[in-house]
Structure 1
Amino acid sequence: MWLVSQPNSVILEVKVEPNAIGQDCLEKVCEKLEIGVEADYFGLRVSPGSGPGRWLNLRNPLDPHRIPGGRLDLRVKFWVPPHLLINEATRHQFYLHAKLDLIEGRLVVADLEVARKIIAYIAQAETGDCERELPPTHIYEECDKIGPQGERPEDHVDKIIEYHCQIAGMRASQAEYRLLKEISELESFGEELFFCKPVTINNNAHNLYSHLLYHRQQAEEPRARDEQEIDGGATVGCLTSGQSGGGCGCRLSTCVGVGPHGIVVYRPACNGEQEIGVEKQSIAYTAIHRAQPFRRNFQMSFVTDEGNEATLHIKMATSGQAAALYRAVTEKHAFYYCETVRTAVTEQFTRDLKGTIASIFNDSTTLGRRYVFDIRRTCREVYDRARRAAHAQQHSAAPHDSRTRRRTASGSEHKESRSRSHSGGCRAEALACRVCMDEPIDTLFLPCRHVVCCENCAPRCNRCPLCRSEIEKLMHIFLPCDYPKSPGLVK
């Protein structure tokens, strides 16, 4: 029995086989929540009592000894804008996780007006329309950490109520979509942070982003380096507000953020004499040549904006954190930037002692094999799969006029008409273009030789809808059977 917690603290009980892998557990959870088609956006996270949590590798067997109490957290692993989410249930899970990250400070909103809108959207989704005489103040207090911290204006709550009243009549699903749209434009959207020192009450994501906001005007431009050695052994913090010189009161170590667009290295550089904020260096995925972990060190070679090759060395707190950083960089690069997941990623694994000894005699044995990555599909593949599933569901739910033909006086004629309708409908569905579902398939893709489109839709495809391979040539073909147009199955 595994206990899986949602972002709203609702716990689901999941039963799987003793030798099941993590993917089996995730699929059962997503099946209960009706988000199975878009399950690739989510992951299971292990949250130990001390130290940062880690993502469970879904391709490996579930190990009760490494999961305290058999408790897992369902969380969004790959963030995408809300317009790429097909199912409303998936958007709701994204909303729950976004609300949790906003309240706990992992998503920091720099603009106070945007923060007020976000709080109003949360209140609309949770409580409905606002009554000026009795506003939902408990929601406003719960979301007090959203937005820039510090002394708030006196009319802060009044403006939230005003925003809340302006969106009266908005459905809960619309309010959730608007919130996701607002946070998708934040600088820290979808970014996962890896701190060189252990995460504490002063060394966390909320303090880092608050530090960035406080020193936005004083931040220096990143210095050009060819060899970069970063040792996160020391923490650097601002002076507290009670001391001379001011400061935001944080105490941070160097950290690395891995997001949808690339890697960001944050180097806090503040002291009591000179406040220079944070040195922030962004490295796009397209500039990275190679990345690898070695014990506590994470090494990466990349190309700078000037075209020079540079090397980045980062010493993490533990070897597990260095491996987690390497895994996050590889998986997010494959998910957001690749057309499909390469075999070099899916087939990378390690072995324990028993597996190593067994591989001496049989190299193909799976004994003791533990996969490094568990990504199965890219962002494009997940979206295409969800869109096709939604189209198939809508198509199957449409009324089939061909199956409700008029009853004849004779019973035999009635059965014959039903059989003709069924066979004709199946034939029409099998021979219809998979893009427009209207015209017959009559175009061959080369070199993959798949036949799935009509002559009108085929020129619009750059890649084969089935195997995603490049299309070099189109060839018109003639099928040996006629294409029966059935108004019930093909529009």
Structure 2
Amino acid sequence: MWLISQPNSVILPIKADLNAIGQECLEKICEKLEIGAEADYFGLQVCPGSGPGRWLNLRNPLDPHRIPGGRLDLRVKFWVPPHLLINEPTRHLFYLHAKLDLTEGRLVVADLEVARRIIAYIAQAETGDCDPEVPPTYIYEECDKIGPQGEKPDDHMDKIIEYHCEIVGMRASQAEYRLLKEISNLESFGEELFFCKPVTQFNNAHNLYSHLLYHKQQEEEQPRARDDQEIDGSATVGCLASGQNGGGCGCRLSTSVGVGPHGIVVYRPACNGEQEIGVEKQSIKYTVIHRAQPLRRIFQLSYVTAEGSEKTLHVKMATSGQAAALYRAVTEKHAFYCCETVRSDVTEQFIRDLKGTIASIFNDSTTLGRRYVFDIRRTCREVHDRARRARHRRRDPPSSHAPPSSPSSPSSPSSRAHAHTGPRSRSRSGGDGGGGGGGEALACRVCMDSGIDTLFLPCRHVVCCQECANRCERCPLCRAAIEKSMHIFLPVEYQKSPGLIIK
């Protein structure tokens, strides 16, 4: 029996076999929560008594000896903007995790006005419409860590109540969507932090971002040139570290690496009470990374600079396990956000324990003692495609971000014929997994079956087939009203119809 904790602290008991892998456990959870089509966004986290949790490798067998008390946390592993989420239960779990990170200070909002709107959305989702005479102040107090810290303006609470009153009548699901939309615009959205020293009450994500905001407000940063490319994370630096009476933000931080959807960011805190240098922030995009690998406690990264030369970055972590976790995060996030499909050299990479190593001497193809390094199966595009196909097969009504339907029912005979007849262009170009290819690029973004052949006016977006376009009142991309639609002919057609040449 495994105890799975959701972000709202609700525990789900899951029964699994002794030799079951983590993926089986996750699939049972997602089946209960009705998010099976979008399960790839989530992961199971092992949380020790102190410090950050580690992601469970879902392709390996569950090990009770490495999971204290048989407790696991269901968390969002890959963050995407809310308009890419198809199912309402998926958006709700995203909201719960986002609220937890906001209220506990792991996701920092720099703008006070944005923070007030976020608090108002949380209050609307949790308590409904605001009564100006009796506002839900307890919700506002729970969200105290949202926004810039320090002394708040006198009208701070009044502004939150004002925002809350402006969204009277908004449904809870709409408020959750608006909150996710707000945080998706944050600079640190989807970023996973790895600190070189253990996380403490001073050395954490909240203090890091507060540190950044403090020095950004003081003066424009002036990065210092570093000759050495090795970062020793064994020491911490921070404002007022020696008790100076000068300026500073009062934190004590170690070097950290943030792994996000677009690349990695190296944060090097370097300030004290006498000389405020701020934080050296080095961004490295995935497109310039040449090679990454862990070497015991050191995470090594080779990348191409703007001048065209290759440089190597060494980050010394506290343990070899943290270096391996950083390497795994960089590889998986790059594959998920930037690749069309997950390469076989990522999915098939594994290590062996002692028993498996001995067995491999006699039989190299044996699976005994094999433990996979990565557990990513699909990219962001493939997960979205899979969820779209699942919804289309069920013929559910469109969600809040999907194009609204015309009075004609989606389950009409013509729609059913369209759903079950004709060639499935994306199936030919990669199957249900959504492999790469031209068929994927030219498939209708609503039904994901027929080819794109309709132009919307006046926005001029080309995203739908003719059947789906007839049911749309607004453009699925820009949400602009559709005044007119026009049938077009693309260079390559994937839908058989009279008079067309099939290539």
The reply to whether TM is greater than 0.5 is yes
User: Offset at 1:85?
Assistant: 0.5
Is contact 2:423–2:495 with CA below 8 Å preserved after alignment?
A: no
User: Offset at 1:245?
Assistant: 1.1
Listed as ranges, the matches of 1:235-384 within 5 Å are: 235-239=236-240, 243-384=244-385
**Aligned letter for 2:381?**
R
Is contact 2:425–2:451 with CA below 8 Å preserved after alignment?
A: no
User: Offset at 1:117?
Assistant: 0.5
- For residues 341-398 of structure 1, what are the alpha-carbon distances to aligned partners after superposition, in whole Å with 9 as ceiling and x for unaligned? 0001000000000000000111111000000000000000001111111111117997
SS of corresponding position for 1:24:
helix
Is the alpha carbon distance of 1:245 and 1:383 closer, same or farther for their aligned partners in structure 2, counting shifts above 3 Å?
same
Aligned to 1:111: 111
**Aligned letter for 2:304?**
V
Is contact 1:35–1:87 with CA below 8 Å preserved after alignment?
A: yes
Distance, in Å, in 1 between the alignment partners of 2:153 and 2:495 is 69
TM-score normalised by the chain length of structure 1: 0.83
- 1:132 counterpart = 2:132: yes
Bigger CA drift: 8-17 or 235-244?
235-244
The equivalent position to 1:432 in structure 2, one of 422, 439, 457, is 422
User: Offset at 1:473?
Assistant: 6.7
Distance, in Å, in 2 between the alignment partners of 1:14 and 1:147 is 37
Aligned to 1:405: none
SS of corresponding position for 1:385:
helix
User: Offset at 1:476?
Assistant: 8.8
**Aligned letter for 2:421?**
L
Is contact 1:334–1:378 with CA below 8 Å preserved after alignment?
A: yes
Is the alpha carbon distance of 1:161 and 1:360 closer, same or farther for their aligned partners in structure 2, counting shifts above 3 Å?
same
* Long gaps (5+) in structure 2: 399-408, 427-435, 456-461, 464-489, 499-503
- How many residues are aligned here? 439
Aligned to 1:40: 40
- For residues 56-112 of structure 1, what are the alpha-carbon distances to aligned partners after superposition, in whole Å with 9 as ceiling and x for unaligned? 000000000000000000000000000110111100000000000001111101111
Is contact 1:226–1:309 with CA below 8 Å preserved after alignment?
A: no
Is contact 2:222–2:277 with CA below 8 Å preserved after alignment?
A: no
Distance, in Å, in 1 between the alignment partners of 2:116 and 2:387 is 33
Is the alpha carbon distance of 1:242 and 1:359 closer, same or farther for their aligned partners in structure 2, counting shifts above 3 Å?
closer
Is contact 1:228–1:312 with CA below 8 Å preserved after alignment?
A: yes
Distance, in Å, in 1 between the alignment partners of 2:340 and 2:347 is 14
Is the alpha carbon distance of 1:365 and 1:12 closer, same or farther for their aligned partners in structure 2, counting shifts above 3 Å?
same
- 1:81 counterpart = 2:71: no
* Long gaps (5+) in structure 1: 403-423, 437-444, 462-470, 480-491
Is contact 2:190–2:260 with CA below 8 Å preserved after alignment?
A: yes
Distance, in Å, in 2 between the alignment partners of 1:94 and 1:447 is 32
SS of corresponding position for 1:276:
coil
Aligned to 1:390: 391
- For residues 417-457 of structure 1, what are the alpha-carbon distances to aligned partners after superposition, in whole Å with 9 as ceiling and x for unaligned? xxxxxxx9998754325479xxxxxxxx9999xx9976775
**Aligned letter for 2:105?**
G
Larger Rg: 1
Bigger CA drift: 344-353 or 235-244?
235-244
**Aligned letter for 1:377?**
R
Aligned to 2:194: 194
Is contact 1:446–1:473 with CA below 8 Å preserved after alignment?
A: no
Is the alpha carbon distance of 1:126 and 1:240 closer, same or farther for their aligned partners in structure 2, counting shifts above 3 Å?
farther
Listed as ranges, the matches of 1:52-201 within 5 Å are: 52-201=52-201
Aligned to 2:23: 23
Is contact 1:240–1:246 with CA below 8 Å preserved after alignment?
A: no
Is contact 1:219–1:279 with CA below 8 Å preserved after alignment?
A: no
Q: Percent identity?
A: 78
Query: Please, what is the CA RMSD of the aligned residues?
Result: 3.0
**Aligned letter for 1:2?**
W
Is the alpha carbon distance of 1:473 and 1:140 closer, same or farther for their aligned partners in structure 2, counting shifts above 3 Å?
closer
SS of corresponding position for 2:138:
helix
SS of corresponding position for 1:4:
strand
TM-score normalised by the chain length of structure 2: 0.81
